[in-house]
Structure 1
Amino acid sequence: MVSHDELTRLVALSPGDGLTTALVRRVCARTLGLPALPAEHDGRDGYAVVAEFAEQFSTDVTEISVDQRTRLWKVLGDSTFGVVTQMYIADFVPRVRAGLEALGVGADYLGWVTGPIVWDHTSDPSDVVFNGFLPTVARLRELDALTAEVVRLRGATQHNCRLCKSLRETTALDAGGSETLYGDIEQFEASTQLTDRHKAALRYVDALVWSPAQIDRGVAAGVRAHFSDAQAIELTFDVMRNASNKIAVALGGDAPRVEHGTEQYLLDVDGQTVFT
């Protein structure tokens, strides 16, 4: 299970003087219509270029332009990747909280932190996210592999991650996944192959991606009807894990590893991606 401490560590990340962190948290939350993550400062002194990028990151990452990307690199230089990782935290931790609240599960996660925030000025956000948080989520095993893969592929299409769309997880393939089945994800409501359980999960994915501040009660009820509390929590964190693709998409680093077709990989017991 993802511990509350995992989210607390994400919340406490505030590199350097914390001003850029405050800025992206304020902008992402305003864009989503959700409560902002706590910050050390009010963020008024941030860069306009960073604010514009953060807003587009939260609204629709697929619409970030080459010009926006170029200007961000010019302003931030070597710190660009870390700042965009901060945008991911500011963008998706509030979505997770809203999703769990709508589902009525995961009460332990609904507070940002369990006590006073000890701000972390030294840890690299990229290291904390990619080497800590994401593998922790990937090690969860309450959800069956096929549902997890269907959810991942929906997130891949919604964020238009070329790399994610080109990958296929082998455990899910062994559990009944196929190109025919996956082809129905785009128009899943009309599918005769995807189960009602899959469709309930996919509606929830779309809600977290596109309308996290207004999750329909019917969408939440669908998840509760088909998933246990532990599965619903894992489903929510899976959407966040998959959405780390927004970082690559935002920075134009989502090119597939293969020129044609798809590539298989295994998500191993340590939460690591092993290409086969």
Structure 2
Amino acid sequence: MGVGEELTRLVALAGGRLTALVRRVCAQTLGLPPLPVEVAVDAPGSDTEAVVAEFAEQFSVDVSLIGDEQRSRLWAALGDKTFGVVTQMYIADFVPRVRAGLQALDVGREYLSWVNGVDAWDHTSDASDAVFSGFLPAVARLRALDALTSELVRLRGASQHHCRLCRSLRETTALKAGGSERLYGEIERFENSRLLTDRHKAALRYVDALIWSPAHIDPQVAAAVRDGFSAAEAVELTFDVMRNASNKIAVSLGADAPRVQQGTERYVITADGQTVFG
């Protein structure tokens, strides 16, 4: 399936009260319209739901500030359901951001068919499988955006979410296209960089907007993306930010240890959207 079908599939994942709760909490935290829900949940109805709601709120505000105590409370409340529920948080947190981004750029309307409701709720699919085996590879198969810009966007997201794993990786195609540690070192101070192009800076501003202020994307930020990127590139840029933000799942659960203790490890994304290391 393509990205649009995979995104619609994520929105249609039912999940009961907990999914409805995290969709309400994440959207309310972001100040964005929530994803459709199968059942209405106005507030936590139990101690477990209160723990989930607290975690979901911090997941949306700044995932890097989730600590061991909060993680322990979530694991104690959910047990072996924890990973699946946190994956649902990722969907509830980032699909509304994608909607806001595409609307601000005035592109990709065909990816938002679910906005007015879900035709049929999916009660059987596993959220983790839908994300990691379906949606993320579908985004990785997109090829409108150049590899170097994609890598700069990925590394900016890694920095903003404090993902140690993501920071330890380097995409090989981007390195061959001009990527370097010197260039990547400019990402943290990209506004003043003399190495990064105006196009790169426009992309990085947009990354920051989706991560930190998705409900208030500066019109000038959106205009710079429209001016510097084709519609297809702008759509891919938006979905790249969401794909990279799947690192929030690992960061929130303290599972983002780097793959190497020193230096970085290279990887390549294959034509079918899979990540191959080494």
- The TM tier, using the shorter chain, reads over 0.9
Q: Secondary structure at the match of 1:23?
A: helix
Q: Does 1:256 align with 2:254?
A: no
Contact 2:3 2:139 in 1 (8 A): no
Shift of 1:109: 2.3
Aligned twin of 1:275: 277
Contact 1:101 1:110 in 2 (8 A): no
Aligned twin of 2:109: 107
Shift of 1:110: 3.2
Relative to structure 1, the CA distance from residue 231 to residue 77 in structure 2 (aligned partners, 3 Å threshold; closer, same or farther) is same
Contact 2:102 2:108 in 1 (8 A): yes
Distance 1:4 1:168 in 2: 27
TM-score w.r.t. structure 1 length?
0.97
Distance 1:66 1:117 in 2: 39
Aligned twin of 2:179: 177
Aligned twin of 1:59: 61
Distance 1:275 1:3 in 2: 24
CA offsets per residue over residues 224-267 of structure 1, 9 Å max, x none?
11100000000000000000000000000000010011111111
Structure 1 residue runs without a partner (length 5+): none
What pairs up with 1:12-23 in 2 under 5 angstroms? Answer: 12-15=12-15, 18-23=16-21
Aligned twin of 1:219: 221
Q: Does 1:129 align with 2:131?
A: yes
Distance 2:165 2:119 in 1: 36
Aligned twin of 1:4: 4
Aligned twin of 1:84: 86
Aligned twin of 2:76: 74
Contact 1:60 1:159 in 2 (8 A): yes
Shift of 1:65: 1.4
Q: Does 1:203 align with 2:205?
A: yes
- Please give the root-mean-square deviation of Cα atoms over the aligned residues, in Å: 1.3
2:200 is aligned with what amino acid?
H
Distance 1:112 1:10 in 2: 10
What fraction of aligned residue pairs are identical, expressed as a percent?
A: 73
Contact 2:36 2:115 in 1 (8 A): no
Query: How many residues in Structure 1 have an aligned counterpart in Structure 2?
Result: 274
Aligned twin of 2:35: 37
TM-score w.r.t. structure 2 length?
0.96
Distance 1:160 1:40 in 2: 33
Distance 1:4 1:112 in 2: 10
Shift of 1:138: 0.2
